[in-house]
Amino acid sequence: MAQSSNESTPAEQPSRLARLGEACVFGVCVAALAAVPTALRTSAQGGHFFDGLIVGDAALLPIVTLSIVMLRAAGRGVRGLIGQAPTRVDVLRIALWIGLALPALAVLATLLKAVTHHRGLGGATFGVFGLAAVAASALLAYRLVDIGEKLVAKGFKSWVLAAIGAAIGVAPVLVVAAPLASSEAGAVGAAIVDGLIAAIAMALIVTVDLGPRWRKIAGVWGIPFAALVLITATARLEATPSVGKAVQAGGGLAATLLHGLEGWTDRDGDGEGAHFGGADCDEGNSARNTRTPEIPGDGIDQNCDGTDPSASPVVSAPSASAQGSVAVANTAASAAPNSAKKPDILLITLDSFRSDRMSAYGYEKPTTPRLAELAKRGALFSRVYAAASDTQRAYVPIVTGRRYANAARDKREWPTLLGDNDTLAERLHRSGYVTAAVTSFTWLSDERGFDQGFDRFETVYKEAHPERGVTGPFAIRAARKILSDLSDRAQPIFIWVHLFDAHEKYQEHRGIDFGKGRGADYDGEVAFVDQQIGTLLDDVAKSPRASNMAIFVHGTNGEGLDEHEITGHSGELFEEFLRVPLIAVVPGAAPTKVEPAVSMVDLVPTLLDLAGAPKEGTDGASLLPAIRGLGAVNAGPVFVRSKKGAALIMGDQKLMVMERKKGKLSLLFDLAKDPGEKKDLAPEKPEDIEKLLKVLSDVEGETVKN
């Protein structure tokens, strides 16, 4: 029987070392193709294309090479069992089919997402037209391979056709991957695209037969060639850690692998390693890494930049002989900034922050000493309810002054705020304020409309993943810079600082230890956030604007710690998910404690009232009279609406109406006797339920458009 053209004669069978060398050569080529999107994303993050290509190639090379070895071993095993295997032409057809079909499906999905928000209609349309796209891709792949076979029969070089086939199979996927270079939310999608490119390229490359001569060369030089790629990439990462950070920031499969390798070198648990793109200069001290704000003049290089800048002189009661030099150094500050006399406003928003886990609210553990100090200077609100416990409904009122149902937004799960909103920042800007914001969560972005009205809008979530890393130091550093930059402005200033770190995943922080368990971990995060706030408050105290600075600190929603066998938040209505802090320090206002229940929907009207800005068109009511001790808070019902139901708080009674698959479930609690909401009184008090349901219906009808 004639030897198949796809097989070598026994004398020509390569050694295991030669096979490995050949696999290494193929592995470098496949990994380079799969690394092209990584290179594009790296350049989009401020790095260089070549750096992304070589680092991405090196990161993917071991996996790709091992996969090629395993694929070839599997092919030999199949032939040994059944005496036959799919021909190279069959493999080529399948690879081309996949390479052509996937981009077609991606384009179709993108088009449907842009033109319809109806999931059922979009899904049905995608199913019909997607099937047609897959069938057309199969037909096209078959025709292309058929043309290639005819060209080979006429003497055309087979390796040239293989290269053309690789380009046809991979290039469309690369085109689809290009938008991921600028996508902030495409990390998972980018990794999938990288993997698909690698898979298609491997399927194509196993169809290539090098022949005895080139196989011998590959056997000799393949392993050194692959080693050279790995050494070059490693040397580049060690010499310039910013290369690794740029690759990681771009996302994708190589970025994920690189991040894992960096984490392997993180011995002190501060979230940053010393190699593979990490620039931690002290792996024995978690307080020193590139994300830690620098404290000038203390003799320690906290942020690992190789320097410890001198501390700025603190001016306090200069002597007569020194007043001239102080005046020269602080000309703008001595010119009495904020000539408009409206108070400056610093608004600090704390994600997932429970008031009952704060020492400022009487918690037995010293979690928030800095906020406790702040509370002694102003108004501490005892019973504050979030607008909702799910993130979307909790945040929108803080930005727009309107409840989620009333705000102008699109219909996505994480919506974009539309220009029809008259946001807090826009109202303050029209009233003469210079406005600035620092946000730490990916949704709170300019892309989603949260920058409306801000003269300066900065995000820090690119520095560290908000749900896996630590963003607080970056946010505080940015806020301190803004405060310094705006300190000499004649106009009043409004600075919004958003801190995310109390949100799970809970991280450990050096020097903070409240024990073991979920609750202790959460307490540690609360204490860490308090420390970060303290750093900013210290800068405020030293600022020439300190005497006219109003400071508001509040939580967005609570966090479940298994009290009702529920963790996190996401729409639940028990007290642990809704009770949040609110501390307000207003110039000229005496310290006070406000007992009646209030809503976070009241925040924006309060800030507008303080700024002397119109508050028409906002939901809620101003709390400024209570803060200044000039009037009592309206002790009427507090209304909460989340995606899982609604709640009404009237005095000590709390009604919860939860939406279930089988209908609505009403729960009733006496918060004075049962603050932990352990006993449902609904079966015992049907009259109270009926009465409160009527009030809930009236309140919801008055405050929310249905």
Same domain, 360 and 486: yes
Domain final residue, candidates 592, 614, 636? 636
318 pLDDT higher than 60: no
Domain final residue, candidates 585, 602, 636? 636
pLDDT for 281: 76
pLDDT for 238: 77
405 pLDDT higher than 80: yes
Distance CA 481, CA 487 (A): 10
81 pLDDT higher than 60: no
Same domain, 425 and 475: yes
Residue 685 within any structural domain of the chain: yes
Instruction: State the chain's mean pLDDT as an integer.
Output: 79
Q: In the structure, what pLDDT confidence band is assigned to residue 324 with cuts at 50, 70 and 90?
A: very low
Residue 1 within any structural domain of the chain: no
Same domain, 116 and 238: yes
Task: List the structure tokens of 236.
Answer: 């580049």
pLDDT for 674: 95
Same domain, 649 and 557: no
Residue 617 within any structural domain of the chain: yes
Lowest-confidence pick of 277-291, 302-316, 427-441, 611-625: 302-316
Residue 4 within any structural domain of the chain: no
Give me the domain span that covers residue 109: 12-250
User: How many structural domains does the chain have?
Assistant: 3
Q: In the structure, what pLDDT confidence band is assigned to residue 233 with cuts at 50, 70 and 90?
A: confident
Same domain, 703 and 622: no
Task: List the structure tokens of 381.
Answer: 């609100």
Domain final residue, candidates 250, 266, 296? 250
Q: 483: which residues sit within 8 A by CB, 6+ positions away?
A: 495, 536, 539, 540, 543
Distance CA 110, CA 326 (A): 60
What pLDDT, in 10s, does the model give residues 508-524?
Answer: 898 999 999 999 999 99
Residue 651 within any structural domain of the chain: yes
Cis peptide before 505 (omega within 30 of 0): yes
pLDDT for 313: 39
pTM for the model? 0.59
Closest Cα partner for 384 from 557, 529, 502? 557
- Say which residue the tokens 């306090």 belong to: 316
Same domain, 604 and 658: no
Task: State the average pLDDT over residues 168-194.
Answer: 55
Same domain, 235 and 372: no
pLDDT for 493: 97
pLDDT for 121: 54
pLDDT for 10: 42
What pLDDT, in 10s, does the model give residues 671-683?
Answer: 999 999 999 999 9
Same domain, 486 and 529: yes
- Say which residue the tokens 């509040």 belong to: 554
Same domain, 465 and 602: yes
Same domain, 661 and 551: no
